[in-house]
Structure 1
Amino acid sequence: MKSKGKIKFFNVQKGFGFITPDNGGKEIFVHISNISGDAQSIHEGQSVEFVEGQGRKGPEATQVVLL
């Protein structure tokens, strides 16, 4: 199921960041390899659509699309 949220923080050099879901809840880790499109242009506050999955260390966003 796809969810929507906003980028809270993203470090392009390190290739990761966090998404704040629009429905509330905990921040979700996102890795640059899970982002469709131009991840180099990603910025804080940007709207995204994603699927929440389970990563090695907890919730992780997959199939992330920049809106």
Structure 2
Amino acid sequence: MAKFMTVSKRENEKKRLAKREEKLKKKESKKLSGKTNSFDDMIAYVDENGMITSTPPADDIQKDEINPNEIVIATPKKEEEEPVILRGRVEFFNVAKGFGFIKNLAGVEKYFFHVNNTVSEIAENDIVTFDLEHGLKGMNAVNVTLEKK
């Protein structure tokens, strides 16, 4: 008993077989041309200017001698910095929740602080000195002390 095929199925089958034959012809023509992808064909060289070429570099090029003992791998030492004492005014302070914000007197930046980071009693509009520390949401004021008048 013969298989029942619709017209579109027959056309698809013919296309598939034609593609297969075309692929086999291309494969045979590559074999006959003798062109192969050898390792030597895939190697690329970089010249002294950083350009990629297919020819190896000449052996008569004078190369600079490098003494491995002269190579220094280290991080530069950090110079001792004098600690900067920042001054600011307490703009907002919530006693019930124990946090507030200090506005830097030297600029327009405002820094968050918490009661745990204060050394003395603080109220709004007090002039204070403080240090900065990286927090989760930015810079935080720590070691907050009331400035002596």
After TM superposition, the score normalised by the length of structure 1 is 0.87
| Residue 6, structure 1, aligned to residue 89, structure 2 | yes
Cα RMSD of the aligned pairs, angstroms, is: 1.0
For 2:106 and 2:99, the matched residues in 1 are separated by: 22
Shift of 1:32: 0.4
3-state secondary structure, aligned to 2:139 = strand
Write out per-residue CA displacement over residues 19-49 of structure 1, whole angstroms, 9 at most, x where no aligned residue: 00011132100100000022xxx22210000
Q: Runs (4+) of structure 1 moved beyond 6 Å? A: none
Whether 1:43 aligns to 2:126 is no
Question: Separation in 1 of the partners of 2:116 and 2:85?
Answer: 18
| Residue 13 (structure 1) shift | 0.7
- Aligned residue pairs total 64
2:146 aligned residue:
66
Richer in helix (by share): 2
Unaligned runs of 5+ in 2: 1-83
- How far apart, CA to CA, are the structure 2 residues paired with 1:56 and 1:15? 17
1:17 to 91, 100, 111: 100
Structure 1, unmatched stretches of 5+, are none
Q: Which residue does the alignment assign to 2:133?
A: 53
User: Sequence identity, in percent?
Assistant: 39
Q: Relative contact order, CA 8 A, sep 6+: which one is greater?
A: 1
Contact 1:2 1:52 in 2 (8 A): no
The structure having more radius of gyration, on CA atoms, is 2
